[in-house]
């Protein structure tokens, strides 16, 4: 499907941060036929150039674009247009871009990635404006908890599920005393808190927490404090480059078996290298080589992005946009309330996830996989990263809607 590039907001920008047009723009007169051609616009608010751009970034925009292309490029007779913008992980910039996309471009749905603090602000604004939101790169539990929206869905596991899948298993294996190295913002705080609950529920104890600024490069002080805490386990409540730096510096200090990571993306594993990352276990809801459907889609994506292995977020962007377009078609409108109702009624059928469904609070529940990073000897190629250890049923990990704190499920 040919694409017509148009400069993104804010300018200037790179070729990847421009608007990706899935179909041409034809409407120039306010006649009924012209109105039928008014594009249905989906805004992807992402970190396109900063510390989280590898987790989501340009490939999030590409994945959303592929979903629109695979749907046929149109819905209800209207061209589908995907617009990618860079919020730079700054809540004020993200909120401003969201307003521009709605007021100036007529966007009726957002795909939200990058820092959770940005996504939560945009979801709150979208709730006021009755705009559909699909959270594909925000891992804070608030998206489907206290900050939930009647027009929102969360497609990636939150801090609670990640902590429950990993921390409990480590405690049962003998890692009883924990201290956390935590990124000092909403995601890190949430992950440390949820992991602490999981540790205590499994019979362990939390003996300390050391925080670091977002984007820290020198974590030696935090690692020394954590090592001196007397903990059996150093839990990493951070992500992206922060996580990579922490693990690399821990290896330099000779701290290996103590370190447990709870959110590792495939791009983090690639950045670490299998020599450093081998043996790390983590919970994921998507791995590109898990089944025939995920492999087929990932190979198409990698053919267009220079063989970059897709992350959970990239898969979520494709899956959510595809599902959204199916819901618009079913509802016969892009009105957010009707679309959200249809999204909950329709099965999620792309084959990426095990037993997926959408709860009343907008949380997409699915089975999770506990995976382990392969050794260099075991790996058969650059993209051959993980061994699937076991599948964990989603119903045992995800918080039920009525216990999530989402106001939509109370009263």
Q: How far apart are CA 405 and CA 310, in angstroms?
A: 32
Q: How far apart are CA 161 and CA 157, in angstroms?
A: 6
pLDDT value for 36: 57
Residue at 95 is within a domain:
yes
- Do 52 and 83 have their domain in common? yes
- Do 67 and 211 have their domain in common? no
Mean pLDDT, each 10-residue run in order, the chain (411 residues): 41 40 35 65 96 93 98 97 97 97 98 95 98 95 96 94 84 92 92 92 95 93 94 92 93 85 91 90 92 97 97 97 98 98 97 97 95 94 93 92 92 55
pLDDT value for 162: 85
- Do 216 and 166 have their domain in common? yes
Q: What phi, psi does 403 have (nearest 5°)?
A: -115, 10
Number of domains making up the chain: 2
pLDDT value for 159: 83
pLDDT value for 407: 95
* CATH code, 277: 3.40.50.2300
Helix (H, G, I), strand (E, B) or coil at 222: helix
Residue at 401 is within a domain:
no
Residue at 404 is within a domain:
no
- Do 278 and 311 have their domain in common? no
Q: How many CB atoms lie within 10 A of CB 99?
A: 13
pLDDT value for 95: 97
Residue with tokens 């809540």: 91
- Do 65 and 94 have their domain in common? yes
- Do 120 and 33 have their domain in common? yes
Residue at 115 is within a domain:
yes
Torsion over CA: 402, 404, 405, 407 (sign): negative
Q: What phi, psi does 279 have (nearest 5°)?
A: 90, -15
Strands 205-212, 233-237: parallel, antiparallel or unpaired by DSSP? unpaired
Distance of CA 121 to the CA centre of its chain: 16
pLDDT value for 167: 83
- Do 268 and 354 have their domain in common? no
262 contacts: CB under 8 Å, gap ≥ 6: 159, 162, 163, 166, 167, 191, 195, 235, 236, 237, 282, 283
- Do 298 and 236 have their domain in common? no
Q: How far apart are CA 243 and CA 308, in angstroms?
A: 19
pLDDT value for 31: 40
377 contacts: CB under 8 Å, gap ≥ 6: none
Q: Which residues pair with 82 in a beta bridge?
A: 20, 42
Q: Domain residues for 231?
A: 160-284+368-395
């Amino acid at each position: 499907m040919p694409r017509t590039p148009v400069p993104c907001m804010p300018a200037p920008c790179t070729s990847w941060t421009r608007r990706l047009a899935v179909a041409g723009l034809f409407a120039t007169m306010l006649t009924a036929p012209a109105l039928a051609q008014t594009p249905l616009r989906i805004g992807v608010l992402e970190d396109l150039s900063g510390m989280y751009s590898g987790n989501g970034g340009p490939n999030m925009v590409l994945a959303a674009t592929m979903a629109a292309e695979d749907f046929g490029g149109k819905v209800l007779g209207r061209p589908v247009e995907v617009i990618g913008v860079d919020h730079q992980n700054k809540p004020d910039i993200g909120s401003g871009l969201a307003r521009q996309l709605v007021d100036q471009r007529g966007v009726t749905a957002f795909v939200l990635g990058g820092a959770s603090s940005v996504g939560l602000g945009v979801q709150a604004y979208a709730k006021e404006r009755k705009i559909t939101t699909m959270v594909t790169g925000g891992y804070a539990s608030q998206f489907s908890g206290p900050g939930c929206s009647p027009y929102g869905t969360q497609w990636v596991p939150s801090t609670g599920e990640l902590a429950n899948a990993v921390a409990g298993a480590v405690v049962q294996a003998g890692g009883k005393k924990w201290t956390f190295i935590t990124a000092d913002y909403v995601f890190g705080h949430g992950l440390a808190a949820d992991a602490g609950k999981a540790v205590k529920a499994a019979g362990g104890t939390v003996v300390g927490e050391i925080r670091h600024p977002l984007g820290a490069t020198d974590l030696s002080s935090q690692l020394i404090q954590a090592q001196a805490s007397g903990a059996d386990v150093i839990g990493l409540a951070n992500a992206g480059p922060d996580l990579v730096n922490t693990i690399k510096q821990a290896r330099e200090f000779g701290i290996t078996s103590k370190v447990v990571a709870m959110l590792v993306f495939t791009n983090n594993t690639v950045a670490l290298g299998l020599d450093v990352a081998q043996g790390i276990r983590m919970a994921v809801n998507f791995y590109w080589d898990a089944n025939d459907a995920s492999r087929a889609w990932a190979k198409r994506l990698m053919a267009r992005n220079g063989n970059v292995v897709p992350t959970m977020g990239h898969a979520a962007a494709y899956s959510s946009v595809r599902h959204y377009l199916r819901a618009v078609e079913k509802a016969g409108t892009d009105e957010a309330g009707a679309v959200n109702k249809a999204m909950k009624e329709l099965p999620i059928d792309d084959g990426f996830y095990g037993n997926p469904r959408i709860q009343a609070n907008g949380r997409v529940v699915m089975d999770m996989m506990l995976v382990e990073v392969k050794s260099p000897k075991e790996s058969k190629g650059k993209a051959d990263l993980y061994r699937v250890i076991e599948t964990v049923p989603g119903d045992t990990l995800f918080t039920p809607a009525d216990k999530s704190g989402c106001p939509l499920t109370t009263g």
